[in-house]
Structure 1
Amino acid sequence: MTEIAQAHAPSYYTATAHPREPAPALAGSASADVCIVGGGYTGLHAALTLAEAGRKVVLLEENLIGWGASGRNGGQLHTGQRRDQSYLEDTFGKEMARRLWDLSQEAKALVKGRIDRHRIDCDWMPGLIHAVHKERYLSEELAYAEKLSRDYGYDAIDKLDRDALAKAIGTDVYFGGTRDREAGHLHPLNLALGLARAAEAAGVTIHEATRATRLVEENGRVVVETTNGRVDAGDVLLAGNGYLAGLDTDLDARVMPINNYILTTEPLDEARADALIPGREAAADSRFVVHYWRLTKDRRMLFGGGETYSPSFPADIASFVRKHLLGIYPQLADVKIDHAWGGTLAVTQNRLPYLRRVRKNVYAAAGFSGHGVAIAGFSGHIAALAMIGDSERFDIMSSLPVARFPGGRLLRWPILVLAMSWFALRDRL
């Protein structure tokens, strides 16, 4: 039976995406050097790297390119790993922390470089502000900026006191923060679609509306069975992040899907937009359950806030997110909400990504914990490099410990709900 692709989420990104002809579903059997399961950043960057190295690549996507988190996220490109350098030094030592920093810088450069090289029109804008929501956190935030400059030679961060931050983001509810001039924001779905065009131009075969159902080893190769046929491959990359339940039990045990939500307002006039974020940077705050926001190219406020930990989305996503928005920008109470949507990302217990050779000739990359614009694509890229003989970067990332969630698949949901509810309460208090 042929799978039917679900449409993209009814988001601002879908409404402003650059149209792309859908790829045909797989029909029958195919053969490849590498089969990639998942058409988001991880799979697309991997496919492009492999095709540029001369490998024959088949990429399978259950729905449409960028349908998952890659086409729904906040669009923020961060510096560093998901955990900061102080945590990495304390946990793994300074030498390993330095390697992870260097890899994160490569990840950021990979995204920017491919945007430039393939002329991907995705509204790239530099600048990312981190706003501190508790006064006692501010000294730590400023000291961390000094640490990155002193120990890592990273001088792209400006310190912002309370008044400077209020002028930069149009609200006085925060106590200060920092601005990273080399981080920034973009249109995530158009980035994914642009990467798909580049991959196809390099020779990658993409099949949308094709759901992978099982992996089978045959004669030293891996067969990916799907709803529409099968692909016989030398190597396989599982690149579906929060949408891979059932394809690998170890991945399922260590990576947890959660849901996050975003809205966009109607377009604001220029004066009102300038009163909010005159420099057009993106912003995120220091809460454990992060609020993040920015102005789009057409001057809409795009705001993300709130998570849920069940498979279903709230009945009224706009109202669910709007209450978080008005806690920061009460002056937007009169503004109409034009789009509101949710999406599924994947987290790990320690928020470090899960990269592994899960079995012979099968690689997996998932669990980017809200840091996927840079790290997800880079993870696919280094998995691809490992397949063609350069495994140094992949080996470093795959050495990071990622524990199983307690309770297995049956109990991990309620345990996560309890933990995340506690952190949300701590944010409010």
Structure 2
Amino acid sequence: MIGPDAMTASPYPPSWYAASVEPLPPQPALQGDLDADVCILGAGYVGLSAALELAEAGYRVVVLEAERIGWGASGRNGGQVIFGFGCGESKLAALLGRDDARKLFDWSVEGVRLLHERRARHAIDCDWRDGHMHVAIKPRQIDELKHWQQELERDYGYPLPWWDHEALRAQLDSPRYVGGLYDAGSGHLHPLKYALGLGRAALAAGVRVFEGSRVLRMTHGAKPVLHTAQGSVRCDFAVLAGNALVKGVAPALDRKIMPVGTYIAATRPLGADRARSLIRNDMAVADINWALDYFRLGSDHRLLFGGRASYSNFQPPNLAWVMARRMRKVFPQLAAEDFEHVWGGTIDISFNRAPHWGRIGHDNVYFAQGFSGHGVAGTGLAGRVIAEAIRGQSERLDVFARIPHRDFPGGRTFRTPMLVAAMAWYKLRDALW
């Protein structure tokens, strides 16, 4: 990871996010053995959301976090809050049927609404901005987006306006795009501020969070036990909310997801007028290439630009230069600008890009993973759905659990090179058609 804040004492990996927040006071590491009603692995959006809901319902909740609250993808992501799931509505309809696909879509919209409810209820200041745009680069992508527009309105009751090139250019000063779909109900935020706000709310609700407490193994049974190097937690219910960072605690889950590196960069502050000249309505933007670019403005008027995913588990060479080149294709007027911060992290994708949520073991171990790049709103929804199931209302989790999932082919040795080869084809298609 790259950035001038690399040598600071921040407990978080270097990023503009980490450089622009005040961390919560550190929580102690687990020492000794505890009992709890619910033990949650991971203090990210899923774990904190579930913990908050369960604590407010009177459960004794312990969260075990290997690093710090919001240290993983929850504190490093692109900050774009959108409806839906990574696989798209058509895939879910093919997997589950139209009726269940409609339920899942409506619940994804609830996930966005739930984020706003939590922001308001717990006074979480996370730099929220309204508006999101999916943009087309090529004529075939206009057809793809307009087909999606029709599908969303006809099958899901979610109409979105089409902006042609002229309307789009009035708000987004880039020559790269030929049109797009605008969603006033989605938007963007500062992800680490939101994670810390959830953490603060969970602590206030009585959740016990232990940082620096990596879960090394889990013992299944009538009362699962999560073991760390210096202690353990025995519980009635366990929740695995580490996503791509669980690594070995539940091998059956590990085989269903692929860790993918993704990267974000931030310019220096451009000044209010210059920043707003780029994106006049302050919306977030994402293209629809397989290897997509996405970007937005930060609260201090810098451009945050994301993309350049890595499927090989290695940071791409010359990352800052590559990211800057991609940015200048979008905004040629920033040709003289470099990045002050470049950082990355790992997201989890499932083989079919659909959410992978459910139970394992004795049906008292719950999990949510496979957010596939749609995690900011979806993770908060997952926390609520799992909390509902633990409280005896499993109808919604049961729908998610019916989504079929397969292991990535090739096992640990060959799944990454196989995926790299597949991604090369999709990138070639984006470039040529």
Tell me the TM-score normalized by structure 2.
0.94
- How far 1:147 sits from its partner (Å)? 3.2
**1:314-325 map, 5 Å:** 314=316, 316-325=318-327
Distance 1:49 1:328 in 2: 41
| 1:75 counterpart = 2:74 | no
Structure 2 Cα separation of the partners of residues 217 and 86 of structure 1:
36
- Residue in structure 1 matched with residue 112 of structure 2 by the alignment: 108
Q: CA deviation at 1:315?
A: 5.1
CA contact (8 A) 1:317 1:342 kept: no
Match of 1:407 in 2: 410
Q: Paired residue for 1:97? A: 101
> Out of 171, 177, 182, which is 1:179 matched to?
182
Alignment partner of 1:23 out of 27, 38, 44: 27
**CA–CA distance in structure 2, aligned partners of residues 139 and 217 of structure 1:** 50
- Give the match for residue 173 of structure 2: 170
Which residues in structure 2 correspond to 1:235-254 (within 5 Å)?
235-254=237-256
Q: Do the aligned partners of residues 171 and 123 (structure 1) sit closer, same or farther apart at CA in structure 2, a change above 3 Å counting?
A: same
| Pair 1:274 & 2:276 matched | yes
Q: Structure 1 residues 123-132 or 403-412, which shifts more?
A: 403-412
Q: 1:225 aligns with which of 224, 227, 231?
A: 227
Q: How many residues align?
A: 423
Q: Which moved more, 1:282-291 or 1:146-155?
A: 146-155
Aligned position for 1:125: 129
What do the CA deviations read for 1:352-380 (whole angstroms, capped 9, x no partner)? Answer: 11112121111111110000001122112
AA in 2 matched with 1:82: G
* 1:375-394 to 2 correspondences below 5 Å: 375-394=378-397
Match for residue 397 of structure 1 among 391, 397, 400:
400
Distance 1:370 1:26 in 2: 31
Q: Please show how residues 329-348 of structure 1 align to structure 2 within 5 Å.
A: 329-348=331-350
- The alpha carbon displacement at 1:133 in A equals 1.7
Runs of 4+ in structure 1 over 3 Å off: 314-317
**1:21 aligned counterpart, secondary structure:** coil
Q: Deviations over 1:196-243 (max 9, x none)?
A: 01111111000011100001135x211101022111111111100110
1:154 equivalenced with 2:158 (yes/no): yes
Equivalent positions of 1:338-377 (< 5 A) are 338-360=340-362, 361-377=364-380
Counterpart of 1:87?
91
Rounded to whole Å, the distance in 1 between the matches of 2:322 and 2:365 is 39
Which structure 2 segments of 5+ residues have no match? Answer: 1-8
Partner secondary structure for residue 212 of structure 1: coil
Q: Shift of the alpha carbon at 1:266?
A: 0.4
- CA deviations 1:288-322 (Å, max 9, x no partner) are 11210000111100000101123332354322322
Partner Cα separation in structure 2 for residue 229 and residue 311 of structure 1: 31
C-alpha distance in structure 2 between counterparts of 1:18 and 1:159, whole Å: 40
Change (3 A) 1:317 1:227: farther
Q: Secondary structure at the match of 2:255?
A: helix
Aligned partners of 2:95 and 2:404 also within 8 Å: no
Selected match of 2:148 from 134, 144, 156: 144
Provide the rounded CA distance (Å) in 1 between the counterparts of 2:144 and 2:421: 27
Q: CA deviation at 1:6?
A: 9.2
| Separation in 2, partners of 1:335, 1:233 | 52
